[in-house]
Amino acid sequence: MLWEAIGFYSLALFLLFFAFKTITVPNPIHAALYLVLTMIGVAAVFFHLGAEFIAGVQMIVYAGAVMVLFVMVLMLFDLRAEIRSFSRGLFSGALKVMSAAMLAGLALGAANSSVAILEAPAAPLGGGDITRQLGIMLYTKYLYAFEILGILLLVVAVGVVSVSRIKGGTHARH
């Protein structure tokens, strides 16, 4: 139990550190790489909560596909590191105070309504392997959402190809 506590709290600390570095480091590529580490940490948190399949999906899709795209895009633009990583001025100062307040409110609300982290997760409905429960529910209770998702992905695919062929762009159709 002691090792679990140490493990969880160090994971949480690292995760917060990586997330903080993501938004404060001036070089965009370093920020993307810190974001990759954050995604991997989030997958670990999912695993700790008992959602093993979701942790795997987070790694495969988010850390393995989406972030690869981000890093590929960023590495190919010759981006200079921002000279000043923090902007100045009254308006941006007010925005910063507001977002810090919102973040504090979110954190307090989450802390108030969350259960003890180190307890074992509640037994899945009806017992049994949680991944199987997920599968069964996905194809019975949430079938409509699942099919709509397929159509949504099709729309995204068509949209991506069309946007890359915008008139005046490099790949416009003649």
Partner 1 sequence: MGTDAFEITVNFVKMVLIFLMMVQIVPLLVWVERRGSAYIQNRFGPNRVGPLGLMQLLADAVKFLTKEEFVPGRGYPFIYYAAPVVAMIPATLALNALPLSIPIHVEAFQMMGSSWGPYIFKFQGYDFGIGIVFVLGVSSLAAYALLLAGYGSNNKYSMYGALRASAQTISYELAMGLSIVGVILLFNTFSFSEIITQQAGPLSFGFMGRNVEIGWLPNWGIFYQPLGALILFAALFAEANRLPFDLPEAEGELVAGYHTEYSGFKFNMFFIGEYGHMLVASILMVIFFFGGYTLYPWLTPETVAAWFTGFSPTQASLLTALVLHVVMMTKVVFFLWIFIWVRWTLPRLRYDQLMDLGWRTMLPWALFNTVATAIIVLIARTGGVN
Partner 2 sequence: MSQLLPVFALALFVIVFGCVLLAFANLISAKAKPNTVKDESYECGLPSETSGPTKVPIKFYLTAILFILFDIEIIFMYPWALTYGDFISHGHGLYVFLAMAFFLLVFIFGLFWEVKAKALDWE
Could you tell me the end-to-end alpha-carbon distance of the chain, in angstroms, rounded to an integer?
A: 66
* 63, interface contact from partner 2, partner 1, none, CB < 5-8 Å by kind: partner 1
Looking at residues 46 to 65 of the shown chain, list those that interact with partner 1 (rule: CB under 8 A). 52-53, 55-60, 63-65
- Burial class from Cβ neighbours inside 10 Å (0-12, 13-18, 19+) for residue 124 reads middle
Looking at residues 11 to 30 of the shown chain, list those that interact with partner 1 (rule: CB under 8 A). 29
Binding of partner 1 by 124 (CB under 8 A): no
Selection from 121, 29, 116, 115 nearest residue 74 by Cα:
29
Binding of partner 1 by 44 (CB under 8 A): no
How far are the Cα atoms of 132, 142, 143, 152 from residue 149, in angstroms, in the given order?
20, 11, 10, 5
The alpha-helical segments, DSSP class H, found in 25-117 are 28-48, 52-57, 67-76, 90-113
Query: Which CB atom, from 8 or from 52, has the smaller least distance to partner 1?
Result: 52
Residue from 43, 44, 46, 48 in contact with partner 1 (CB under 8 A): 43
Cα–Cα distance, 134 to 156 (Å, whole number): 25
Residues near partner 1 (CB under 8 A): 29, 33, 36, 40, 43, 52-53, 55-60, 63-65, 68, 71-72, 75-76, 129, 131
Residues near partner 2 (CB under 8 A): 3-4, 7-8, 11, 44, 47-48, 53, 57, 60-61, 64-66, 68-69, 72-73, 76-78, 131-132, 134-136, 138-139, 143, 146-147, 149-151, 153-154, 156-158, 160-161, 164, 170-171
